Structure 1
Amino acid sequence: MIFRRLLLHPQRLSNSSIFYRRFLTDVNLVKNLSSPSKDYDALIIVATELDQIKEYVHNSVTKDLQKFSQLNKKFNKELTLMINDNVPGKRLIYTPTGKIHRDYDDVRRFTDAASAGMKKALSLGAKAPLIASFGSKQYQQAHLVSLLSALDTTYVPLQVREDKPEKKNKVERLGVFIGQPSLDNNYNEKLINYARAIEMGRVVARDIGGADPERMAPPRVAEYVQDLFNKSSDVKINIIKDKNEFENNFPLFAAVNRAANNIDRHQGRLIFLEYQGQGEIDSTLLLVGKGVTYDTGGLDIKTGGAMTSMSYDKCGAANVAGFFKILSELKPKQFKAIGVMAVARNNCGEESYATDEILKSRAGVRIRVGNTDAEGRLVIADPLCYMKELAVKEVNPQLFTMATLTGHVVRSYGDNYTAVMDNGPARANRIAQKLQTLGEEIGDPFEISTIRREDFDFINDKSEVTDLLQCNRRPSNATDRGHQYPAAFLARASGLDKHGCDSEKPLNYTHLDIAGSAGKLPNMPTARPIPALCQMFIADRVL
């Protein structure tokens, strides 16, 4: 069992990486808006219309905003900034959602409004803003969405925190007012704690995913993760770095890692995480994340500036670490999770794996390499096989892979959507549909794709020598079904195809292609779809 072998690393991160844990303990519920508070220095109101706020704010606030609305015909479409003596810091920011009932509107109207309000407050110099969310009956999670959006604007990149300590924080505290009564007196407190934990996880994901390829080279990813969970009794961690173990137990991963293995600071790591909540386990999540810290394309090298943003090719693994950070904070009961961060660098050099090379996977499947720039599926296929071996012994297992895998998914769905694909058992249980519904509610949207017989036909190698073709010679975005057939490859290469609907032990497996939704330079990673995964596996256990 891999978790028996714990390899420790002596190096630790600087205290600047701990900052967010401190700040995020100072997000507090405010129960009264009618008088100014000395604890805060700006009031941000997120609402769909002025009538929502009347009974909660000082009457001068409503009166001033109503007067201004008569002078500005775009009042309900754009942010309003005013001076008012009866709000914290005299800074009043009204940020409307605009219309929310049209066919194409969704809960992200609240994301946009909260983000705009927070950015304005920060630009004015506010260090302790108070955000007031008034939600909507149509969008049940609007308060949570607004709060997550507000927290998102406070993120400071890891390398800024480390290199420029004077800029390590944007805010000192955040107040939250929720303008909606709750039957549970403690619900709003629990909601804030839940949002705070999600943001802690997103900070981890952005730190790892967004740092440059040297700051988050594989060994340093391992150091960061170990530092993160070093004092946690809830998350077990094991790090494999031995070349022989890669070659014997994770040969596809070893092939990609080969060119980087001679450079100490680029050597690959497999990072295993495990969480087990209190009580009798009723559900198990097994999560594999692609963590290619930099993708040169290998011998099929990327040209024409196509390497830009390839340091974000590690966002799948970064999200795995982020999700486990959330588990360590919220400690959901009767829930178990096992994660693998497959962290490697796809270098180009004399030791690189090559097109036409024949590899044998952990599952015993013989694979012909078609393109070294399709390294991601090789990096995660063997860890997925390992997880499959664990899953058959777990309670109610659900397997996921999460990867910035194809350009085709961006061409198909654009930059803002995660593609979700189920195998047969997962499709029968409507996992993709459930995830899409939950994501829609929280502003973390998905598009559902289907793995079909043509995808399995495509990866069948036409020679007598091997079983599978890893990839064709064309880019995925120029290939029919360019993001669906890699999911079929993962199922075949890992042996999960032996656990379909027709098997004695069917296993739910869902692949998430986050190449579009993960983000790209110059913006920071989005840490999606962490919020949707939290809604699916954690929310009902802690709210």
Structure 2
Amino acid sequence: MNFELKTLSLSAAARHKCDLLAVLVPEKFEERDGAIGALAVRARSAGDLEDKPGKCLQAYAPEGVAARQVVLASCGDGSPQAVRKAVLGLAQALKAPAVRRAALVFAAAPQKGAVDAALRAAADAAYVYRATRSKPEGRDLQMLTMAVPTAGAVQAEFSRAQAVAAGVEFAREWANRPANHATPTLLGEAAKSLAKLQGIRCTVRGPQDVAKLGMGAFMAVAQGSAEPLRFIELRYDGGAKGDAPLVLVGKGITFDTGGISLKPAPEMDEMKFDMGGAASVLGVFRALADLRPAVNVVGLIPACENMPDGRALKPGDVVTSMSGQTIEVLNTDAEGRLVLCDALTYAGRFKPAAIVDMATLTGACVIALGGLRSGLFSTDDALAAELQGAGEVALDPCWRMPLDEEYGEGLKSNFADVANVGGRPAGAVTAAKFLQRFVGDTPWAHLDIAGTAWKGGQAKGATGRPVALLLRWLSDRAAASASADAAPKQRKRSPKG
């Protein structure tokens, strides 16, 4: 879908030719500007259009309006959160087969962040997965016009939102693909395709390269699969040469059976989403090519399948990680932390300013936070605050969880340096404590996205989270660095003689 930004008053919007004209109406709206303004005021006065965000009122070919269909959508107080709810409420209308060109009109001047929220929500609402369908169903929305009273005031926000939406869609597309259409090899090819974009470099390593690096934990997970592993490294050099990079690490288990500790059959198909962290890294780099922030970024993806054949890792096996630490594998279904620990050790080679990993790691995090917020664990208070703040602004929220030393007691082993699981209590925390052992003193954060990377049931599909959160954090880091560089340096005064 393509987007365009236009300056349109409500009177001008009434003359705009399109299949669907969706108007975002804030609470207490009283401006009778042309046919649309009058219609909105009458609908609110009659109580047919409630002020609650997401409430809609449809009209077909109303008099004085060029569009075939008009939908009035309440956006409450006009905040980005309310606007997002309003636009998501338009999903069915945006996906209608007859709608090829649509316009999304702000009845009043948008608040800061509202255009960003509206565009990304529209992209989410209109997204349709088609990669493995034999025949496309219906017709895609081809053009969405964003109409505001003054386009120049929100042009930068609009352009940024386009880039973020493209990154989120790239992540969703790869996470949604069935495991036989998103093998580690194909994930590597997807990463290589990003290297065709401006400023992106890519290196993909195979089993022999990984063996030379000594990634024994990663290799152990992959050994039960016929699909060869891939270790993907992406680079974006937007900052000054020599500036310490920010490293993103994404869990890339392209299908997780649980291995010998086999998962139950119901809903096992959803384990194709176990590479949601990897998909997020790909999505971030897709957007970085357009956003071009002044920051250096490294993306690392350890990609493999977790399968239960005769060569597979067994409960009780002890493996040696790249760090040299030995790990007793008590549960082969706790494989994500095994591939991540070697990638985190490798990340240290870049002497990074910070490391952030994201992984569909634990069911325990789903129980704790549900599907609203990702779990955030960090060894650094400032980094945690940055990520949590970025998530709030990006409408991709997370919540900080504890990392008390006592939680690590359950990972003790009689036969290795550490076990890969503790008991059932605080499972998301003990998983994070395991990962913490492999990051040293580098500021580090772990995002457990098991509850947020995809949805099940009728709405089954990837969400593309936490791409928006990560891009906001990277942009904030770039802005903070630019501000620090621009700050005037105090000159030393010579003592008076």
| Maintained 8 Å contact 2:10/2:34 | no
Q: CA RMSD in A?
A: 2.6
Change beyond 3 A, Cα 1:38–1:111: closer
Of residues 241, 257, 282, the one that matches 2:206 is 241
The residue number in structure 2 matching 1:489 is 434
Task: Give distance in 2, aligned partners of 1:441 and 1:178.
Answer: 21
Distance in structure 2 (CA, Å) of the matches to 1:514 and 1:360? 27
8 Å contact from structure 1 (residues 458, 485) kept in 2: yes
Aligned to 1:437: 389
Task: Indicate the residue corresponding to 1:353 in structure 2.
Answer: 313
- 2:88 aligned partner: 115
Residues 248 and 299 in structure 2, CA contact (< 8 A), matched pair in contact too: yes
Distance 1:89 1:353 in 2: 61
Q: Indicate the residue corresponding to 1:75 in structure 2.
A: 50
Amino acid at match of 1:420: L
Structure 1 partner of 2:217 = 252
Aligned ranges 1:144-223 → 2 under 5 Å: 144-160=116-132, 163-165=134-136, 167=138, 170-179=140-149, 186-223=152-189
Distance 1:513 1:336, change over 3 A: same
TM-score by length of 2: 0.88
> Which of 332, 336, 349 matches 1:376?
336
Q: Give the distance between the partners of 1:33 and 1:469, measured in 2 at CA.
A: 63
Aligned partner of 1:89 in structure 2 is 67
1:461-500 correspondence to structure 2 within 5 Å? 461=413, 463=414, 465-472=415-422, 479-492=424-437, 494=438, 496=439, 498-499=440-441
Asked if 1:127 corresponds to 2:100, the answer is: yes
Aligned counterparts, 1:409-424, within 5 A: 409-423=365-379
Given candidates 513, 524, 532, the residue that maps to 2:461 is: 524
- For 1:284, the equivalent position in structure 2 comes to 245
Partner of 1:344: 304
Q: Tell me, yes or no, if the aligned pair for 1:420 and 1:512 is still in contact at 8 Å.
A: yes
Paired letter, 1:458: G
Report SS of the residue matched to 2:356: strand
Which amino acid in structure 2 is aligned with residue 531 of structure 1? Answer: A
Give the whole-Å Cα distance in 1 for the aligned partners of 2:25 and 2:46. Answer: 19
Q: TM-score, normalised by structure 1?
A: 0.81
Deviations 1:437-476 (A, max 9, x none): 2322332111110111122222222x1x31101114x6xx
Residue equivalent to 1:514: 449
Residue 224 in 1 paired to residue 190 in 2? yes
What's 2:360 paired with? 404
Tell me the matched-pair count: 474
Task: Measure, in 1, the Cα distance between the counterparts of 2:401 and 2:70.
Answer: 45
1:274–1:339 contact (8 Å) kept in structure 2: yes
Q: Deviations over 1:398-446 (max 9, x none)?
A: 10110000000000011121011111xx22x2x2223222322332111
* Conservation of the 8 A alpha-carbon contact between 1:136 and 1:142: no
- Kindly state the Cα deviation for residue 227 of structure 1 after the two structures are TM-superposed: 2.5
Map of 1:41 onto structure 2:
19
- Give the distance between the partners of 2:372 and 2:109, measured in 1 at CA: 23
CA deviations over 1:114-165 (Å, ceiling 9, x no partner):
111243243272211111236898x7422211221011122221425x6335
Q: CA deviation at 1:527?
A: 0.8
State the 1:281 CA deviation: 6.4
C-alpha distance in 2 between matches for 1:353 and 1:134: 60
Equivalent-residue separation in structure 2 for 1:245 and 1:69 (angstroms): 63
Query: Which position in structure 2 is the counterpart of 1:535?
Result: 472
The alignment status of 1:366 with 2:332, answered yes or no, reads no
| SS state at 1:159 partner | coil
| Contact in 2 for aligned 1:142/1:442 (Cα 8 Å) | no
Distance, in Å, in 1 between the alignment partners of 2:428 and 2:28 is: 45
1:42 and 1:87 in contact (8 A); partners too: no
- State the alpha-carbon separation in 1 of the partners of residues 305 and 125 from structure 2: 30
1:298 matched residue in structure 2: 259
| 2:273 counterpart residue number | 312
Deviation at 1:59, TM superposition (A): 2.1
Q: Distance in 2 between matches of 1:540 and 1:362?
A: 30
How far did 1:364 drift? 0.7
Q: CA deviation at 1:539?
A: 5.7
5+ long unaligned stretches in structure 2: 483-497
Residues 1:60 and 2:25 are matched in the alignment:
no
SS in 1 for 2:18: coil
> Which range is displaced more, 440-449 or 119-128?
119-128
Instruction: Report if the CA contact (8 A) 1:318-1:341 is conserved.
Output: no
What is the alpha-carbon distance in structure 2 between the residues aligned to residue 134 and residue 514 of structure 1?
Answer: 36
The share of aligned pairs that are identical, in percent, is 24
Partners of 1:133 and 1:290 lie apart in 2 by 39
Q: 1:200 to 1:455 in 2, by over 3 A?
A: same
Structure 1, residues 5-63: CA drift from partner, whole Å, max 9, x if none? xxxxxxxxxxxxxxxxxx44x433344442245553322122332527x27xx422122
Any idea what the Cα deviations from partners look like across 1:373-412, whole Å, max 9, x if unmatched?
0000001110110102212xx4xx1101100000000000
Go from structure 1 to structure 2 and tell me whether the alpha carbon gap of 1:379 and 1:146 turns closer, same or farther (over 3 Å shift). Answer: same
- CA distance in 1 between partners of 2:418 and 2:7 (Å): 59
Deviation sequence 1:186-231 (CA, Å, 0-9, x none): 45222111111111111110111111111111111112222233x2
Q: Distance in 2 between matches of 1:339 and 1:439?
A: 19
Quick check: 1:29–1:192 contact (8 Å CA) kept in 2?
no
Q: Give the distance between the partners of 1:37 and 1:156, measured in 2 at CA.
A: 29
Give, in whole Å, the separation in 2 of the partners of 1:281 and 1:247.
27
